[in-house]
Chains A and B, each alone.
Chain A
Amino acid sequence: MIKLVSLSKHFGKTVVLDGIDLTIEKGEIVVIIGPSGTGKSTLLRCINFLEQPTSGTMTVGDLTVDVNRATRADILAMRRQTAFVFQNYALFANKTALQNIAERLLVVDKWPKEKAYQRAREILEQIGLPDKADAYPASMSGGQQQRVGIGRAMAAGAEVILFDEPTSSLDPEWVEEVLGLMKQLASEHQTMMVVTHEMSFARDVADRVIFIDGGRIVEQGPPSEMFQNPKDPRTKDFLKKILATNPTK
């Protein structure tokens, strides 16, 4: 379970997150939508401590931290509970697909080599790239790289996987395979928070859709309700614009 209590993030005088309260159940798939620059990515980055939140408390699994009192050990522990999938994949360029996935098991969890690589191979099977074990990121397509990026996040065995616009950098031809893998993960009840503009994914896969604007949660609900009867005028306006360019088919 994830619980955020009045989580805020200021960059200087700019308020990017303005007191977010949010509870996510284990196995829940939450899709976060909203206009650009409204704090969606920052929210995910704060949960992973890639950004230091300004105030609030966060609970992930059995770990609760007051962000202002978070020690270095708290931050590491929180990062280990939360895996991150990056928009630009961010694979380790000096490591093969297999090593990218095994890295966390070897270095952070201190698994013995054999066990770590065996687990990494299983994950390569799951993400449909068993023949790419020894391929370096530079030799893979964007879609394959992002699947390895997701594989790396899966290896963590994390409480939640945070997806930050995972298909936004992809050529259109690779989007489906990445969304397909995410659907597969969702069907295995992996807790997921996904920032995306893929409205069809939100409609088909999400348990809950959250609309964020101006650093606040404006409206949230099951996708059917959010897409068919949005209540807040800002949600209506945003959905009208985005569905015009990115229909749910």
Chain B
Amino acid sequence: MNKKKAYLILEDGTTFQGFSFGAERPTSGEVVFNTAMTGYPESLTDPSYSGQILVPTFPLIGNYGVPPEVDNGLSIFMESSKIHVQALVISDYSVEHSHWNANKSLDQWLKEQNVPGIYGVDTRQLTKIIRERGVMLATIVMEGGDLTLEHQKFEDPNVENLVAKVSCCGLEKYEPTKNAPETPLNIVLVDCGCKYNIIRCLAKRGATVTRVPWDYDFTQLEYDGVMLSNGPGNPAMCGITVENIKKAIAKGKPIFGICMGNQLLSMAAGGTTYKMKYGHRSHNQPALEVGTNHAVITSQNHGYAVDTTTLGSDWEPYYVNLNDGTCEGIRHKSKPFFSVQFHPEAASGPNDTEYLFDTFLALCKK
């Protein structure tokens, strides 16, 4: 690989020098770190990262290359049809990859998708800066580019409606997986930036999934349950979705929200959300089911959180984060509505909480 320098410039002027890989072009976005040790193909294709520059804290990236994309249907090892991050910043890039299921290198894939990457950066130092000062905007500049702080164009992705950008355009239907148990259930999936694995988790349990755009009034459809997906950016952009959820609550059929879905259900329940200093992005977040000794390790990717004190009186905390006490889920005290801030569908990350899909579908059957 020819070594061409590239730079990451944070809005406070901190500059890291590294080397370019992937697409050789400048860009800008919000810098976030993720402490997961595996799963870069899954993370890069996670629509929740839309607008963000991803910094994996694990230094060795690219080791097992990139799995093949499947043309029709859901790519098995990816979470959407394309890379969503603005850029990837890492410490050590494995030029040579090795895996039975790889058909290209990470460098090649980033180039194909026109996404820039930088390797050779002290990602631990970068992470500490983000941890102490909060998430920041940043630019990526290629060798020879203008490095002066005043000339950087820091574009804040959160001012635009990222959900609208990544949501699907029309209704899409997914049949149950072959050999799945027979479960004649119709689930509406509200796509705010949905990861494929949510669909897989429902389909392999025998459900038929109808994926609808974020602003679609799904309450007109016939359904047995509503699944609210994850998604990027500020939940406040999704006022329409919240209104639709309110209608669904009135309708009474089960509702299950994940990540952004948790925030939207909370807003429908009268609650508010706030932006966290640097969010939770990792595979090792511990959550406790409130009122029990049941603790789970969860996969997370969110920058906003729910303030549970603002919820309506019919609602209660469901899960709580064992490290910092933040909201990890809410539920209705008597009705089949619940949501979690973490990702029970994992991909990437631990799938200890996949049982929540069973819980949800069992409610839908009633």
- Do the two shown chains form a genuine complex with each other? no
